[in-house]
Amino acid sequence: MSDELRVPTISDLASITIEDVNKFLSEKIKDASCPACTERSWSVIHDQTQLLSLIGMPTNGSFSVPPPAIPVIATVCVNCGYARVHVLGVIFQWKLDQSVAQ
């Protein structure tokens, strides 16, 4: 990873393609076995037109607009439905590092 981290914009995150995601996952995931059922077949949930996010929900009854959120992609085991998420900002930084390395 480069020493310079860039905070990605929504446009930056939306520029991440399914091909980028698949390359990132194949490079970074060493054991693709599902931790719940040990199958190795995953479906990637990623849509460039509508980002998936983990959203914070305050427990004290307050709220903010927009709520705090972390844009992610999700992978789901096609056998048991176990889901895991990967932060899009990390994938974006990896993509930048790949373009610098070439």
Where are the chain's structural domains? Answer: 10-85
pLDDT-based confidence at 73, cuts 50/70/90?
Answer: very high
pLDDT-based confidence at 93, cuts 50/70/90?
Answer: very high
Strand partners, 5: none
- At residue 99, the pLDDT reads 85
Has residue 88 got a pLDDT over 60? yes
Percentage above 70 pLDDT, the chain: 95
pTM of the model: 0.83
- Angle between the 88-101 and 18-28 helix axes, to the nearest 10 degrees? 90
- Assign 94 to helix, strand or coil: helix
Q: Which residue has the tokens 């983990």?
A: 54
Do residues 50 and 16 lie in contact, with contact meaning Cβ atoms separated by under 8 Å? no
Q: What is the DSSP string of 8-71?
A: PPHHHHHT--HHHHHHHHHHH-S----TTT----EEEE--TTS-EEEE---SSS---SSPPEEE
